[in-house]
């Protein structure tokens, strides 16, 4: 169809414009950079395990740990003169609880103390209370025979 110069056919323009808007929506909605879709750093219930040398059984129970994503940036250009600090989800406030491992050998203290998350924050990793490795073991991993505490 030939139109005089200066006239625009509205029907022919609406389809490409709507397709463009739809494309923009899908790119924005499914973008991995949409951090609001990720769970933020917060206390969560998790099954964990504790064990120690001299005790033949691993105790598995539920407690509260810190888990979730923290917003972080990494520069494209890395200078040898600047440090990069990555924030991880870690404990802000904790209380400590103690459990007794079953069937420990004589002379072995059967008690193990572990942190319980009361609140969490995005901060630098503290190796004393957090596992900051790239690939860590699952929290309920045991080297020895498992024994479960069922009364949470």
Q: Does a structural domain hold residue 60? A: yes
The residue behind tokens 């002379």 is: 107
Residues shown for the chain = 152
Residue 18, phi-psi category: left (phi > 0), alpha (psi -120 to 50), beta (remainder): alpha
Q: Does a structural domain hold residue 6? A: no
Q: Does a structural domain hold residue 73? A: yes
Continuous segment of H or E residues that includes residue 12: helix 10-29
Q: Calculate the alpha carbon distances from 4 to 7, 9, 16, 17, 69 in Å.
A: 6, 10, 21, 22, 57
Q: Does a structural domain hold residue 135? A: yes
pLDDT at 102: 86
- Per-residue pLDDT of the chain (152 residues), as tens digits, is 555 555 555 554 445 655 555 555 555 555 555 545 667 899 999 888 888 888 888 888 899 999 898 887 777 777 777 776 778 888 899 999 999 988 899 999 999 998 899 999 998 877 776 667 666 666 666 666 666 665 54
pLDDT at 85: 72
Which residues on neighbouring strands pair with residue 5, listed in sequence order?
A: none
pLDDT at 4: 54
pLDDT at 116: 93
Count up the domains in the chain and report the number.
1
pTM above 0.85, yes or no: no
CATH number for the domain spanning 60: value is 2.10.90.10
User: How many other C-beta atoms are found inside a 10 Å radius of the C-beta of residue 26?
Assistant: 10
The residue behind tokens 């050998």 is: 105
Secondary structure class of 152 (helix, strand, coil): coil
Q: Which domain holds residue 116?
A: 39-148
Q: Does a structural domain hold residue 134? A: yes
């Amino acid at each position: 169809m030939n139109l005089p110069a200066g006239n625009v056919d509205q029907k022919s323009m609406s389809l490409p414009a709507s397709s463009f808007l739809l494309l923009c929506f899908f790119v924005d909605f499914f973008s991995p950079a949409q951090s609001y879709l990720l769970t933020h750093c917060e206390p969560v219930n998790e099954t964990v395990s504790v064990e120690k040398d001299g005790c033949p059984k691993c105790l598995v129970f539920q407690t509260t740990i810190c888990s979730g994503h923290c917003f972080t940036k990494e520069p494209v250009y890395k200078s040898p003169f600047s440090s990069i600090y990555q924030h991880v989800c870690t404990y802000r406030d904790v209380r400590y609880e103690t459990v007794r491992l079953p069937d420990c050998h004589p002379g072995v203290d059967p008690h193990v103390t572990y942190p319980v998350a009361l609140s969490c924050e995005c901060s630098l990793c503290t190796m004393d209370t957090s596992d900051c490795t790239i690939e860590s073991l699952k929290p309920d991993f045991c080297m020895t025979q498992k024994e479960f505490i069922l009364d949470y």
